Amino acid sequence: MFLYVSWLSHNYPTLDKEQKRRKLNLPSRVADIRLFSEEGRILLSQKKPLEGFSKSIEDSIKEATSEAQNTVQKGHDYLIWMLTNVFEESVENAENAIIDGPDDCGIDAVLRYEKEITLIQSKFGESHDIGMIDKFVKDIERFKNAKQTNIKRDDLSYLWNEINQKGVKIHLAYVTDQYADYDSDVVDVIGMSQTIQILSERKMKPEKGHKATITYLDGYERNNIFHCTVDGVEIRNLLEKNKYILDNNIRHHLGHRMKVNKGIRNTLEECPEKFAEYNNGSTMTAVDFKIDKDKKQIHLDSPIIVNGAQSSHQILDVSKKRKNLGAETQLKIIKTNDEEHQKNITRFSNSQNAVKGKDLVALEDYWKSISYQMETRTGYFFEYQSGSWDHRLDAGERAKFQGNEIFNQYLPEKHRKKLASKDAIQTYVAYFQQNPSGAYQSISKFLPGGTEYEKIFTEELMDDYRIFLFPTLIMEFAKNELDYGPKNRTHPYKRYSTIFFVGVVGKIIHEYILETKDDFDNDISKLEKLIGNVTLFKRILRLTDKIVGQVLASPDLGKELEKVNNSPHNLFSKSIYNYDMKKVIEHYIVLESSEIEQIKSII
């Protein structure tokens, strides 16, 4: 039976109800959707899934069922969504698991694991009510106690035999797109709030519930830390068996070209016996660990490497080419069940390669939410962890990112469908915050740890992937279709003007076309509709290009340039969007009033 966190901003069951739920063993493939400790439940009860993440899940289900012609098909499409997203089945396996129909004995889907079977009933929309949960439990009880000869379907007769003759354990799961609060030791109810919580936990805490065992050479425990020396093979095995293990590191593998990584690799290849002396080793955190001194093993609960990604990857790569690695390494394992403590350990223990603001993005749940939404809603990979595209994903996994049929039209044909967090933040500041000069001058100010980060990314700013996707698409179109950016060697200013262009697009759209009265991101849904009309939106972008071209050729720009010692860089980082230049921009926008009015009439 699946255990889950049954709360969300819409729904707050009391904690003592949850504490009454008995713990059950789960199939390993779905073990991450339950709660793992009383302490974990208390911590989670104090932290809500982010609003944008929650809305994205709800919207994804609506989209998945939107093309269905009737309620039966909607229910089928919803169940496919749940099986592929929550239960992590492939689409083919999900289709094969569904058995609903005449004489289905109340069972809509069957998932088979090793020595365990999960029986699922699914209710979509108005078909759900609390009474249906009780009926599902009774239907399964009748099915188990029925005579096999009375079961009309061959597939269910075989299922009956598995349960009653082979003694396979069963778990019951009732899934619904509604918000459901139901406390039971018999059936696991996964409503909308539980669905959101399961997926949020899976993204924010990928290590949750995973187990690992490491054999050490020697070590000692002091307070909540276990210090040990391990054979490099143990690190290799850890990475090969636990793909998630570096997901909460500030950076993934940065590649062999990094100076530090070259040194690590050279040591492993040329004098592996000196590796422990030359290398700082790795740091891990775990919710808990148990030490077996006789076997020299440490058993880890929810382990994650928070420092040492580069060393770990070099060990993995070199060990694939050498049968006997011959290297030892230091490992520090810190026991902590405090998420903020873990983030602090990650933040402060990383020093081997210079830590930049863009690396600290990986510590923020906000950006993990944006990444999840980008992937599931648009088909783009959002790289919030340096190196994750090249070194976390293999070629097949990268190929799965195909982007979006509409949004791809703003990208070059050979675009890799990867968007970088740094670009997304920079264009967001230029477009929605209307600060292209600041974004151009020093993007580091707007990254985690920067002086402007907490002023902009407040708790009030919803984690909505669209406010980062759309300005990024505008930037990409400007570079690839309108010749903005460093590749332009002919125009005196266009190579400096990409971020400026993004800011002017925002000004024209929200002040002159949509006539936004408040913050620009309040009109994100209107912008979404606008950008969905590719022909019209490209017309707006080309109009902006014309206006920006006039601004760049104006005498007023020449005067501003003189004030900054004729330095284009200083112009675009300091004065291109000051009060006087905004008046110039607005002057040229007004000259295009007839075109703007035509665009408004089409909208």
Sheet holding 169-176, edge to edge: 109-113, 116-123, 169-176, 188-190
User: Is there a single domain that holds both residue 488 and residue 570?
Assistant: yes
User: Is there a single domain that holds both residue 200 and residue 226?
Assistant: no
pLDDT, residue 602, reads 93
Instruction: Answer whether residue 344 is part of any domain.
Output: yes
Instruction: Answer whether residue 10 is part of any domain.
Output: no
Q: Answer whether 85's CB lies under 8 Å from 403's CB.
A: no
Q: Answer whether 251's CB lies under 8 Å from 362's CB.
A: yes
User: Is there a single domain that holds both residue 351 and residue 392?
Assistant: no
Those residues of the chain that have pLDDT short of 50 are 1-46, 250-258, 351-363
Instruction: Answer whether residue 224 is part of any domain.
Output: yes
User: Is there a single domain that holds both residue 287 and residue 399?
Assistant: no
pTM: 0.65
Q: Which domain holds residue 467?
A: 360-602
User: Is there a single domain that holds both residue 185 and residue 128?
Assistant: yes
User: Is there a single domain that holds both residue 286 and residue 393?
Assistant: no
User: Is there a single domain that holds both residue 41 and residue 188?
Assistant: yes
pLDDT, residue 352, reads 46
Q: Answer whether 480's CB lies under 8 Å from 413's CB.
A: no
- Last residue of some domain: 204, 234, 259? 204
DSSP state of 250: S
Instruction: Answer whether residue 1 is part of any domain.
Output: no
DSSP β-ladder status, 225-231 and 109-113: unpaired
User: Is there a single domain that holds both residue 135 and residue 23?
Assistant: yes
User: Is there a single domain that holds both residue 161 and residue 222?
Assistant: no
- Last residue of some domain: 339, 355, 371? 355
Q: Answer whether 393's CB lies under 8 Å from 244's CB.
A: no
User: Is there a single domain that holds both residue 326 and residue 385?
Assistant: no
User: Is there a single domain that holds both residue 392 and residue 420?
Assistant: yes
Name the 3-class secondary structure at 508.
helix
Number of domain units in the chain: 3
User: Is there a single domain that holds both residue 399 and residue 488?
Assistant: yes
